[in-house]
Structure 1
Amino acid sequence: MNKFKIFSVALLASVTVSQAQDLNQAKKAIDAEQFDSAKSILKSIINTKPSNGKAAFLLGNVYLTQNVSDSAKIYFQKGLSGTEGAKLNYIGLGQLDLDNGNVVAAQANFALASKDVKKKDVEEYIYIAKAYMAANKPDYKSALSVLSRAKINNPQDGQVLLELGNAFYGDKNQNEAYVAYRDAFQADPTLIRAKMQLGVLLKGAKAYTEAVKAYDNVIATNANYGPVYRELAETYYLWGRNEPSKSKEYLQKALNYYEKYMSLTDYSLASRMRHADFLILAGDYKALEIEANKMKELDKVNPRILRYLGFAAYENGNADVAIQSLESFIATPTNKVLAVDYQYLGFAKIKKSIGADGKTIDPVLFNKGILDVKKAVEMEITITNNLADLGKSLYEQKLFKEASAIYEIAVTNKESRNYLLDNFYLGNSLYYDNTRKDVVKPDPIALQKADIAFGNVIEASPATQDAYIFRARTNRLLEKDDMMVKYYEDYIKVVTEKGPEELEKKAVKAKVIESYNNSAASYANTNKAKAIEYFSKTLALDPTNEYATKSLQTLK
């Protein structure tokens, strides 16, 4: 019996040590973003010892990272009934409370998790802080408060310092973040993420050359650390956007580094989704369509795949698949629908509404598309930044009425980066739509909108000369001669101030002549001398101008 007892104790000790080693392997896999591997290790531990509360907590956290909250909740609740590490699961439930906007319930769960924590213990504080930072609405101030207590308990703990760096970074305190990351790596040189985060700080400061050097230092330490290649991908993507002359070269580097990241982590559905998100960011919709179809093979029922299929189908010219995919995605009540989903659905309907001849329009389908775009903007005003290309495409097809419908939505956001140009094209679209050959009588309401749009351009950029000429033309259609003359005269003033070289341009000269002739015609009934002056100025520029010549003869 004694031998049996000794053997049992030895076996128990062996299993405990083995599980501790497996937990450490799981933590390393999580840090390396090898989430499928981590899940496999943790599920194995739970199967061997269902009472391992810490394994359940870590597994629940992995599911939270992958946005699978239902599975996360199951493991957190299961982990509460365990033994070692069971209290950690209150933290997981607390994060779910934060995600649902219930801060009071979250704090109650965090209090249960940290109750009776020993003086030197910091693990609970670390995970509570991480929960605050990983919530749908991150609370970096609360995370810093929790981590400050942990640092008092153990000032040289590398994990505490690493998370302090993350909290400071999230709170936009770059200097303190740098110190914390540096100290974390010095305290524990195995924390390669802390070393990598020094490069992330440089990326955030747009110091891309230095950021890449920092990542190269990480690779020199561990060439198989996957996350550093993701950071390289994101850095080169941003670098390319900030340096247009190298955008194509850097975008290709970014895509290559992301593939490297995938090869060192896993090709799970969650990883493929993250890859898909990056492909959208990079605008590589051909690759996105390939990735979306691979995801569909892995999980035919995952609704998020429909989003990727919809985006890719629209960008690759297949409006039908885009509409079908996105309508199915939006119609599922449990899906978290984003503004961009409605944007793409609206774009796809608008594209489909245009006939093969590029001229005929299905007005019902077009208006449905416009409603979807409006819905997108109501959800997220910055969607207006994405409307310029579609509006310009319709404008160039001479679908001026349809283009104006897009631009009217775009100019609702005065903070849009395209605000000036969107107003200009809105005004032009409305003007040209009212000068079509088949127009019997111009629409005064539409022309008043055009007048306001040109006014917005002039207010934002007084030197934009064509805004004056089109505003004058618009007021001519509105039969407001006084305002027409004012804006023609403003046009002449602006181009004259730009110097002789501007006036010598053929297109500008033609518009100056237009300004003189139309202004003179208006003055002919009220100010004969002014009319003669302007017609004379026309002839000084173009001695053969027939209209000015005959008008002068009549006036004299």
Structure 2
Amino acid sequence: MKTFKIFGLLLLATVSVGHAQDINQAKKAIDAEKYEEAKTILKSILQAKPSNGMASFLLGNVYLNQSVKDSATISFGKGLAATEAARFNHIGLGQMDLDRNDTIAANAKFILATKDMRKKDFEEYVYVARAYMNAEKPNYKAALAVLKRAIVNNPMDAQVQLALGDAYYGLSNQNDAYKAYRDAFSADNTLLRAKMQLGVLLKGAKSYDEASKAYNEVIAINANYGPVYRELAETYYKIARNKPSKAAENFKIAIDYYQKYMDLTDYSIHSRMRRADFLILAKEYKALEEEANKMIELDKVNPRIFRYLGYAAFENGNVDKAIQSLETFTSNPASKIIAKDFQVLGLAKIKKGTSADGLAIDPIAFESGLVSIKKSIEMEPLAVEDLNEVGKKLFGQKLYKEAAAIFELGANNAESKTYLDDNLYLGLSLYYANNKKDVKPEVAGLQKADAAFDKVLVASPSYYEAYIFKARTNSLMENDENTIKFYEAYVAAVIAKGTEETAKPAVIKKIAESYNTIGATYANTDKVKAVEYFNKTLAIDPTNAYALSSIKQLK
């Protein structure tokens, strides 16, 4: 009997060690972003031992990471009823409170999780800090405050230092982040994420070559560590954006690295979505369409797939599918809509209403598209920056009225990097829209054009071309005083540039236009002044037919 008891105790110890090993395996799988593998391990632990609260907590965290909140809630709830490490599950539920912006409820749960900690304990603090950092609205200051409590008794624990590095990185404190990541790897040289994060810091500092070297050092230690290939993919994406001459080459490298990341992690719906997000950044829409179609085979109800289908269909020329997919996505209450969703939907509607030759747009379709685009700007005001090229394309097609409607959206946002360009093209679009033989000039539109050119001159006083367009715009409004004023301002600005500028044929033509228009304006009220300006034209263009004819008539 005594022998049996000893054997029983040994067996119990073996089972405990086995579960500890499984938990560590799950943690390693989570760190390696093998989330499906981690879920399998954790579910196996819980099937064998439902009282393991840590397994429930880690499983809930994986679900949270994958945005499967219902499953996360169930897992944390079961974990609270466990007899071992149940307190950790308060942390998971606390993070969900943070996601709902309920910091009071979250803090209450964090207190429950940490109130019975022993002096040597610290893991609870690390997970509370991560809850603050992983929330939909990260709070890195709160995370740092919690981690400083963990440092007291465990200053050199690798996980504490790794979390510290992440908190400092979130606060843009590069120096302290670097030290913490370095200390984490020194404390545990199997913690590859800490070493990888040193490369992430370099990437953030735009030292892309040095970042790549740092990642390759990680690969030299373990070539099967998947996350490092994702970081390499994102680094080469940034290199491609910064080196347009080699963009295609570097985008391909980035895509290949991302494929390697997928091969080493998993092909779950959530991993596929992460890759789809990257394909959008890289503008690989053919690959995106293939990925989206694979995803819908795996999960026919996840609304986010319709975003990918919509984006890909729009870029690949299938506007009907784009509209259908994005309307399905944006009308679903479960969807987390971003500004780009409405923007692409709006552009798809406009594209559908555009004639085959590109010379006309159905006004109803255009207005419907504009409504969706305005929704995107309500969500993200700087979304206007993506519309500048859209407006220029319409302008190039001589669809001036529609171009003006697009440019006006950016012309009202002084924070936009396209603000100056949008105002210039808004003014030009409205001017050309009203300067047609079969169109009666619309004063309200011309006044907007005049105001847009004023903004251009405020933002860029040396851009003297704005003066001539202000003069032309006021001429269409039959505002003689301002017409003369701004033509004279144009001539003065050009002359101030020097003889090299005034000798240019295009400039001579515009100076002649200025003198001729001023002369014509004076013709009915002051013939002497009118002749004076026509003679100024002839001084720079002796054969100018309009000036010669006008002088002849006035005499």
Instruction: Provide the rounded CA distance (Å) in 1 between the counterparts of 2:489 and 2:230.
Output: 54
Match of 1:321 in 2: 321
After alignment, is 430-439 or 55-64 more displaced? 430-439
The match for 1:524 is 523
Q: Supply the distance in 2 between the matched residues of 1:40 and 1:486 (Cα, whole angstroms).
A: 78
Could you tell me which residue of structure 2 aligns to residue 52 of structure 1? 52
Partner of 1:387: helix, strand, or coil? helix
Distance 2:22 2:539 in 1: 91
C-alpha distance in 1 between matches for 2:493 and 2:518: 16
Q: 1:396-430 CA deviation, whole Å, 9 max, x = no partner?
A: 11111111111111222111111111111111111
Q: Distance in 1 between matches of 2:241 and 2:495?
A: 37
1-side partners of 2:466 and 2:98: how far apart? Answer: 50
C-alpha separation in 1, matches of 2:335 and 2:269 = 17
Aligned to 1:168: 168
Partner of 1:311: 311
1:147 aligned partner: 147
Partner of 1:206: 206
Corresponding residue of 2:97: 97
Q: 1:148 to 1:257 in 2, by over 3 A?
A: same
Q: Secondary structure at the match of 2:415?
A: coil
Give 2:273's aligned residue: 273
Residue 482 of structure 1 is matched in structure 2 by: 481
Separation in structure 1 between the aligned mates of residue 62 and residue 337 of structure 2, nearest angstrom: 23
- How far does residue 465 in structure 1 lie from its aligned partner after superposition? 2.9
Q: Can you list the C-alpha shifts for 1:468-514, whole angstroms capped at 9, x where unaligned?
A: 22211111001111111222222223333333333333333222221
Q: Distance in 2 between matches of 1:497 and 1:225?
A: 64
Distance across 2 between alignment mates of 1:351 and 1:2 = 84
Query: Residue in 1 aligned with 2:217?
Result: 217
1:546 shift after superposition? 0.8
Per-residue CA deviation, residues 124-166 of structure 1 (Å, 9 max, x unaligned), is: 0000000000001111111000000100121110110110010
Residue 361 of structure 1 aligns to a residue whose secondary structure is coil
1:252 aligns with 2:249: no
1:179 aligns with 2:179: yes
2:441/2:476 contact within 8 Å kept: yes
* 8 Å contact kept, 2:360–2:399: no
Shift of 1:3: 4.6
Measure, in 1, the Cα distance between the counterparts of 2:394 and 2:457.
24
> Structure 1 pair 248/524, CA: closer, same or farther in 2 (3 Å)?
same
Any idea what SS the aligned residue of 2:152 has? helix
Equivalent runs, 1:24-63 vs 2, <5 Å: 24-63=24-63
Distance in 2 between residues matched to 1:264 and 1:94, nearest whole Å = 32
Counterparts in 2 of 1:78-93, with a 5 A limit? 78-93=78-93
Partner in structure 2 of residue 462 of structure 1: 461
| Paired residue type of 1:485 | I
Shifted more, 524-533 versus 465-474: the winner is 524-533
AA partner of residue 516 (structure 1): Y
Indicate the larger mover: 350-359 or 40-49.
350-359
Once the two structures are TM-superposed, the CA of residue 463 in structure 1 deviates from its matched residue by 2.0
Query: Is the 2:355–2:361 contact (alpha carbons within 8 Å) kept by the matching residues of 1?
Result: yes
- Residue by residue over 1:379-400, the C-alpha shift from the partner in whole angstroms, topping out at 9 and shown as x without a partner, is 1111111111211121111111
Aligned equivalent of 1:496:
495
Q: Structure 1 CA distance, aligned partners of 2:359 and 2:33? A: 50
What is the DSSP-based 3-state SS (H/G/I as helix, E as strand, rest coil) of the residue aligned with 2:64? Answer: helix
C-alpha deviation, 1:227, in angstroms: 1.1
What do residues 269-291 of structure 1 show as CA deviations (whole Å, max 9, x unaligned)? 11111111111111111211111
CA deviations 1:308-356 (Å, max 9, x no partner) are 1111111111111111001111111121211211111111111111122
Q: Which amino acid aligns with 2:256?
A: N
Q: Which amino acid aligns with 2:307?
A: R
1:423, 1:145 → 2: CA distance? 47
Identity %: 63
Paired position in structure 1 for 2:197: 197
CA distance in 1, matches of 2:191, 2:292: 34
Kindly state the Cα deviation for residue 259 of structure 1 after the two structures are TM-superposed: 1.4
Matched with 1:12 is 12
1:97 maps to amino acid: D
Cα distance in structure 2, aligned partners of 1:472 and 1:249: 48
Cα distance change, pair 530–255 in 1 and its aligned pair in 2 (3 A): farther
Which whole-Å CA distance do the structure 1 matches of 2:145 and 2:332 have between them? 39
CA shift at 1:302, angstroms? 1.0
Contact 2:185-2:191 at 8 Å conserved across structures = yes
Partners of 2:256 and 2:451 lie apart in 1 by: 48
With 517-526 and 379-388 compared, the bigger mean Cα shift is at: 517-526
Q: Give, in whole Å, the separation in 1 of the partners of 2:287 and 2:505.
A: 46
Amino acid at match of 2:99: D
Contact 2:133–2:167 (Cα < 8 Å) also in 1: yes
Q: Distance in 1 between matches of 2:198 and 2:108?
A: 34
Task: Judge which range, 176-185 or 246-255, deviates more.
Answer: 246-255
CA distance in 2, matches of 1:70, 1:436: 60
TM-score by length of 1: 0.97
Unaligned segments of structure 1, at least 5 residues: none
Amino acid at match of 1:260: K
Q: Which residue of 1 aligns with 2:234?
A: 234
Aligned residues: 555
Deviation at 1:359, TM superposition (A): 3.0
- 1:554 is aligned to 553
Give the Å deviation of 1:530.
Answer: 4.0
Q: Distance in 1 between matches of 2:230 and 2:391?
A: 34
Q: Which amino acid aligns with 2:205?
A: A
Query: Bigger shift: 521-530 or 121-130?
Result: 521-530
Bigger Cα displacement from structure 2, 329-338 vs 370-379: 329-338
Distance 1:530 1:502 in 2: 26
Deviation per CA, 1:162-195, whole angstroms, max 9, x where unpaired?
A: 1001001101111111111111111111111111
Shift of 1:18: 1.4
CA RMSD of aligned residues (A): 1.6
Cα distance in structure 1, aligned partners of 2:494 and 2:246: 35
Query: What whole-Å deviation, never above 9, does each CA across 1:232-276 have from its counterpart, x for those lacking one?
Result: 111122222233333333222222221121111111111111111
With over 3 angstroms needed to count, the CA separation of the structure-2 counterparts of 1:218 and 1:530, relative to structure 1, is farther
Distance in 2 between residues matched to 1:497 and 1:261, nearest whole Å: 60
In structure 1, the residue matched to 2:299 is 299
**Equivalent runs, 1:358-437 vs 2, <5 Å:** 358-437=358-437
Structure 1 window deviating more from structure 2 (84-93 vs 254-263): it is: 254-263
SS state at 1:280 partner: helix
Equivalences for residues 336-355 of structure 1 within 5 A: 336-355=336-355
Shift of residue 8, structure 1, vs aligned partner: 3.3
- Partner SS for 2:214: helix
Q: Distance in 2 between matches of 1:150 and 1:360?
A: 66
* Matches of 2:276 and 2:7, distance apart in 1: 52
* Distance (Å, rounded) in 2 between the aligned partners of 1:263 and 1:497: 64
Q: Which amino acid in structure 1 is aligned with residue 451 of structure 2?
A: I
Distance 1:364 1:8 in 2: 80
Q: Tell me if structure 1 keeps the 8 A contact 2:303–2:334.
A: no
Instruction: Verify the 8 A CA contact 2:350 2:361 in the aligned structure 1.
Output: no
Offset of 1:517 from its aligned partner?
0.9
Bigger mean CA offset, 140-149 vs 209-218: 209-218
Q: Is the 8 A contact 2:340 2:376 kept in 1?
A: yes
Do the aligned residues in 1 keep the contact of 2:57 with 2:92 (CA within 8 Å)?
Answer: yes
Give, in angstroms, the shift of residue 2 of structure 1: 4.2
Amino acid at match of 2:103: V
Partner of 2:537: 538
Q: Give the deviation of 1:527 after TM superposition.
A: 4.7
Does the aligned pair in 1 maintain the 2:350–2:366 contact within 8 Å? yes
Q: What is the TM-score normalised by the length of structure 2?
A: 0.97
CA contact (8 A) 2:343 2:376 kept: yes
* Partner Cα distance (1:9, 1:332) in 2: 55
